[in-house]
Amino acid sequence: MYCFSSQFNGKSAANFNATILALTRTFVTIMSKYALKLDRLALLYTEIDALDRFDHPHVIKCLAFYNQDQSKAPVMVLELAAGGDLFRLIDDSKLIPIRKVERLFYQILSAMSHIHHRRIVHRDLKPENILLDANHDNIKVTDFGLAEIQTSKGELMGDVVGTYDYMCPEMWKQDCYTSKADMFSVGCILYELELSTRAFDGTTTGNLIEG
């Protein structure tokens, strides 16, 4: 049983901070009927499938998933990362201390090594999809709805998905790409961590695509 403490709505779900009676703090997502009409359920299943393959301190854990009653919205229970996301930390900080940048970046690299070892390609890695604990000392990679679950190492992909500001050139040129696309995103995130500004923005990315 869950005791809900706060609610904030996303584009396709109602999100809650909650506490299980065993006193484990969690994050609960309840998909909206509107989202289901937009066929977002497939993305949710992809995320659940990906999360089931991970066991790493810097990758978000799925604690439970409820979808037995087809008349009700699916519910996903994740571990709680109470410190917001990396985007907010960067936006609120004029300059993040270099030691903190090194620590957070090492954790991102460790998480991505684990994710790729499990043959998952995230494909939408960005500061908004990297959560933080309450002290902003530890990260959790999250949001695997656009992930690709591969059957073999080095498998080529061709779908253009994700966020342009963090998208590798091969992707926005609609060429084939591999899991290394995630590492391009990681490089963009490092740039942003160190300089508190994006490596590419909507304008410059548009110019790159046109060129």
Which of 52, 55, 124, 182 is catalytic? The answer is: 124
Q: Is 182 part of the annotated catalytic residue set?
A: no
What one-letter code names the amino acid at 118?
R
CA atoms within 13 A on the CB side of 92: 9
**Other beta carbons less than 10 A from residue 1's beta carbon:** 7
**Other beta carbons less than 10 A from residue 62's beta carbon:** 16
What's the CA gap between 94 and 91, in Å, rounded?
8
Distances (CA, A) of 19 to 4, 28, 115, 208: 7, 10, 28, 46
What's the CA gap between 80 and 58, in Å, rounded?
12
Catalytic residue set: 124
